Amino acid sequence: MSEKSDLRNLNSSELEAFIASFGKERYRTTQILRWLYQKGVHSFDEMTNLSKKFREELSRVSFISTLHPLRIEEASDGTKKFLFELVDKNRIESVLIPEKDRLTLCISTQAGCAFGCRFCLTGKMGWKRNLTTSEILNQILAVRETLNGKKSITNIVLMGMGEPLANYQNTMKAIELMLHPDAFKFSSRRVTLSTVGLLPEMEKMAKERIRFRLAISLNATDEETRSHLMPVNRRYSLKKLLELCRKFPLQPRSRITFEYVMVKDINDSPRDAKRLLKILKDIPSKVNLIPVNEAPDIPFKRPSDETVREFQEILMKGGLTAIVRASKGAEISAACGQLSGKG
Ligand code: SAH
Ligand code: SF4
């Protein structure tokens, strides 16, 4: 059986091999990458610098997939949530977050998530399936298209639905194209992958040729609390995770971002803040404090602003950069941990 292949599932070297199989020159790959990702075309007919014959040959064995938003919601702070329905009816979401000097797109890597962190609605829905490389990339293209060339997406964060490292291969292929000079051309400092700390995949990632920013969902400073909030900690302990972070190869002057969801009476005490300082002492790091977004299905409350500020102050006094993440888009359930694909 020969099914047509989706060109957006091929990374640059796979695309090059594919083009070479037609006996075509190497620069054709460059041209096609630009059509696919810089122009964002929907059909081979739009690839006007390829011969008609070659375009026909291509369309006989391959196709170009796209995603169309099923719904776009906008919050009063300007955050926009995009709901997409995939060919098998699974639903995923992406969130566009405008800030002073950047426009960040938060994309999904899986439909659902298997890790069941107790504060996260994506975790509640369970795991449906991995996204393909094209489904990851098409979120960027579909959102970009709605901007009509008036604004550009400046940053990509893989912090939407799913655990990117549990969909390792497709995620790495997608990131390669985000960074590729003939594809999306994002700077390596503007692409951030967030993980709960899957150690074997992190080891693998450390050896990848491509470099990008790393964020770790830490959320606790001791094993017991972390296991309580994030069951994955029973498999990959905080201790082992920190050990790996200590030796993880970073880009020059780069730091690991540690995300710390603050939950009232669970991980928000001054003692936690001091312990956080201690465990991150010898890791180039900065901390994002995210007061937990509450939801009816979530058994946690957010700490008071005062508690959050005190926590932050302890970190800052200890010399650690700590930013309180204002939760954007909460009223449309677009904030961290609120993505569940419910339409
Ligand atoms: N699975 C990866 C990528 C998704 S990122 C990861 O967990 O890192 C989702 C981010 O949102 C994580 O940093 C997580 O800690 C945070 N988050 C999840 N639920 C949240 C909630 N209810 N309130 C605030 N942040 C939440
Ligand atoms: Fe999955 Fe991340 Fe949510 Fe945990 S926080 S359940 S790993 S999406």
pLDDT per position as a tens digit, 2-51: 689 999 999 999 999 999 999 999 999 999 999 999 999 999 999 999 99
Place of tokens 């990632």: 205
Residues acting as catalytic residues: 93, 336
Residue 317, number of CB atoms within 10 A of its CB: 10
How far, in Å, is the centroid of ligand 1 from the Cα of 220?
13
CA distance 141 to 143: 6
Percent over 90 (pLDDT), the chain: 92
For the chain, state the CA radius of gyration: 21
CA distance 241 to 116: 18
Side-chain half-sphere CA neighbours of 1 within 13 A: 2
331 confidence band (pLDDT: 50, 70, 90): confident
Mean pLDDT of 137-142: 98
CA distance 144 to 265: 41
How far, in Å, is the centroid of ligand 1 from the Cα of 92?
15
pLDDT value, residue 58:
97
The candidate with the shortest Cα–Cα distance to 104, out of 132, 140, 76, is: 140
Report the chain's mean pLDDT, rounded to a whole number: 96
Could you tell me how many helices (H) and strands (E) the chain has, helices first? 11, 14
Q: Is 137 helix (H, G, I), strand (E, B) or coil?
A: helix
pLDDT value, residue 343:
54
| Atom in ligand 1 nearest the alpha carbon of residue 291 | 24
Percent over 70 (pLDDT), the chain: 99
Q: Which amino acid is at 154?
A: T
Place of tokens 């099914």: 3
Whether 266 shows a pLDDT value over 90: the answer reads yes
Q: Which ligand is nearest to the CA of 193?
A: 1
Most ligand 2 atoms within 8 A of CB, residue of 171, 193, 217 to mutate = 217
Mean pLDDT of 69-84: 96
pTM score above 0.85 = yes
| DSSP labels, 56-106 | HHHHHHEE-----EEEEEE-TTS-EEEEEE-TTS-EEEEEEEEETTEEEEE
Q: Do residues 219 and 230 touch, judged by C-beta distance below 8 A?
A: yes
Beta strands 213-217 and 191-195 are parallel
Whether 327 shows a pLDDT value over 90: the answer reads no
Mean pLDDT of 182-186: 98
How far, in Å, is the centroid of ligand 1 from the Cα of 339?
10
Whether 113 shows a pLDDT value over 70: the answer reads yes
| CA angle, 55 then 58 then 60, to 5° | 110
| Atom in ligand 1 nearest the alpha carbon of residue 113 | 1
Please indicate whether residue 108, judged by its CB atom, sits closer than 6 Å to ligand 1: no
Token code pair at residue 101? 């000097």
pLDDT value, residue 2:
63
Whether 333 shows a pLDDT value over 90: the answer reads no
